Homo-oligomer: A and B are copies of this chain.
Amino acid sequence: MQVNERPSGFEVVEAGRVILRHSAAAPCVFVGRGEPEVQMLRGNFKIADYVTERVALRAATITRQGEAVSIALAASAADAAVLVLTIGADSIGLEATDPSLNRLWIRTVAEAGEHVWGGGEQMSYFDMRGRRFPLWTSEPGVGRDKTKLITLQADLGGAGGDYFNTNYPQPTYVSSRLYALHVDTTAYSVFDFRHDGFHEIEVWEIPARIEVWARDTFVEIVGVLSERFGRQPQLPAWVLEGAIVGLKQGAESFDRLQNFLDADVAVAGLWCEDWVGLRITSFGKRLFWDWKWNPKRYPNLDTQIGELRAKGIRFLGYVNPYLAVDGSFYELAKAKGYLALTLDGAGPYIVDFGEFDCGVVDFTIPEACDWFEEEIIGRQMLDFGLSGWMADFGEYLPTDVKLANGVDGMLMHNAWPTLWAEVNARAVAKRGMTGEALFFLRAGFTGVQAHCPLLWAGDQCVDFSRHDGIGTVICGALSSGLLGNAYHHSDIGGYTSLFGNVRTAELLMRWSEMAAFTPVMRSHEGNRPDENLQLDGDPQVLAHFARMTRVFRHLAPYVAGLSAEAAATGLPLQRPMFLHFQDDPKTYADQTQYLYGADLLVAPVIREGKTDREVYLPAGADWVNVWTGDRQAGGVEIAVVAELGYPPVFYREGSPDAALFAALGQI
């Protein structure tokens, strides 16, 4: 980056993009002090900050020493500098001379018409311009829309959430000005894109550095981000053979699986999260958080896994980083000193997970990680025959916790999901099963890309709602994909059924259709299976699902190619249209359709009661409807008929996989 001195101040420029613009009248950096107040209730946070000081740093002194440029910033020319920026090739280093400063606000240049994407996995708004995004891993909330009763009902328990709440935040954005910016921090931070002339980044520490990458194309930007944050192994081949059917009815799950096979469902795996046993709470059936086979609920699981495998079907389970106080591992971990402690060090920190209590394994202790990797994931799960699992949670690290590494919970909270992913990845690697065993996380933060082979979109409501329904999954895939998370999928049918909100057949079918055009097709019975329609509870729904699993399987060669491309380039499988149509500005704003690889355009039906939808076909290509064969030149929005089972999907004419796509209509 270069620093250009201006009569009134300076500009920091990366490859022609002005990133910072400073003058005494319009300073771009503010520092100060804040006193945070944090309340957590079951992964939902109320966070307030008492900002006692926020000082504009109006006076800048620029020093050049060879290539190196540093900028010393002070409140006024009369005052001593309190912050020094060091401008490097791809980053801006920050150093405070006053250690009592614990807040930074830095304004980057914003332009009219600019779009900004990223922020981790955002569920409501792909383009973040015009809104404010606190970045703090948490429950995403139920409803996530303060204008809807369901959100307010959930808010009575503190669980309603808002548009910015996400399991996976990350202080990184990509600008339509063709650059990406990342703040190297795990502190609470806020990206505020509400202003006309600037984006304001707030950080609850003075971060060590801010990284900036400018490239000519979005494809290159995604590539550089995926190098920076880490790439995933390729998808296991078995995953592409069909759906992973989620059932949690104990031993009866195996009997029910036969319903699916009889209906000609392509089945890659059976996923029984209740393999650890159940606990009944008012929220619904929950799992018993003691990570090993529960022979009471699954009497013959040890032999059944092998029998299933012989039929070409994998078995998947469930784990998370907490240990129920009434389980067998808790006392063990406590005795070894592997649990996070209360601030006074008196004993394990106990977290309320909703009618049951758990300890938190302290992943800042290498021996605790080893133990979890070897004794739990290794011995109890991989050795037992699991081919994959949901690696749930990671967002609940309390801030008033004492960790072995001595770092404040306010700084470790956001770091936790990545540590959790790493434990899973190392456990798999220790058995040599990387790229073969598949686990999936909802939680994330910077660097989770290097360890998590697959994201799942968390717990949607079982509906079509704007901020917590089926459509949010697309937003999650696109935003996380842009930051180097190549693989994304969701619970078919959604998860959260509360306040009388239950699944419809239409929802299950629309969700199945969408999932067929994602890297992993997995169903979930939801939090209240008995009150909700299941895939095998309605012959029409099951037949529809079966066909969509065959569509999914049919695409396996194409998806395997995308997976190889992801490993080589970092490109996600589900892509915003502008990744490949950078010159078509109409592709910048949409978050309801996506490219699946470079050659498929997918526009899922995410509105209730609709049998058609508008689809924008990017300019510069001709597009062929996979179901009808109709051809259409790009650059137009068209209305597309979309009966159940036939979501609008187009392939790019001239694609090397055209024949494969054209054959979809025959399934």
Which positions in A face B, CB cutoff 8 Å?
30, 32, 51-56, 75-76, 78-79, 146-149, 152-153, 155-156
Contacts and interface: CB of A to CB of B under 8 A. Distances in A.
Say whether chain A's binding surface is mostly helix, strand, loop, or mixed.
mixed
Nearest to A32: B54
B52 A53 contact: no
A645 to B, nearest CB: 36
A75 B76 CA distance: 10
Nearest to A158: B147
Contact of A152 (B54, B56, B153): B153
Contact of A53 (B30, B78, B155): B30
Contacts of A55: 53-55, 75
Contacts of A54: 32, 51-55
A75 B75 CA distance: 9
Contact of A56 (B30, B53, B147, B153): B53
A52 B76 contact: no
A52 B107 CA distance: 11
14 contacts: A30-B53, A51-B54, A52-B56, A53-B54, A53-B55, A54-B55, A55-B55, A55-B75, A75-B76, A75-B79, A76-B79, A78-B78, A149-B152, A152-B155
A292 to B, nearest CB: 39
Contacts of A76: 75, 78-79
Contacts of A75: 55, 75-76, 79
A148 B156 CA distance: 7
A371 to B, nearest CB: 41
Contacts of A152: 149, 152-153, 155-156
Contacts of A156: 147-149, 152
B53 A51 contact: no
Contact of A30 (B30, B52, B78, B149): B52
Contacts of A153: 149, 152
A640 B299 CA distance: 63
Nearest to A195: B50
A152 B53 CA distance: 34
A75 B55 CA distance: 10
A298 to B, nearest CB: 41
Contacts of A56: 52-53
The 10 A-B residue pairs with the shortest CB-CB distance, nearest first, are A152-B152, A78-B78, A54-B54, A53-B56, A78-B79, A53-B54, A55-B55, A76-B79, A51-B54, A75-B75
Contacts of A53: 30, 54-56
A152 B54 CA distance: 34
A39 to B, nearest CB: 13
A78 B74 CA distance: 12
Nearest to A55: B55
A32 B56 CA distance: 10
A76 B78 CA distance: 9
A80 to B, nearest CB: 8
Nearest to A160: B152
Nearest to A107: B52
Given A53-B56, A75-B76, 10 more contacts: A30-B52, A53-B54, A54-B54, A55-B75, A75-B75, A146-B155, A147-B156, A149-B152, A152-B152, A152-B153
A574 to B, nearest CB: 34
A156 B153 CA distance: 11
A177 to B, nearest CB: 24
Contacts of A51: 51, 54
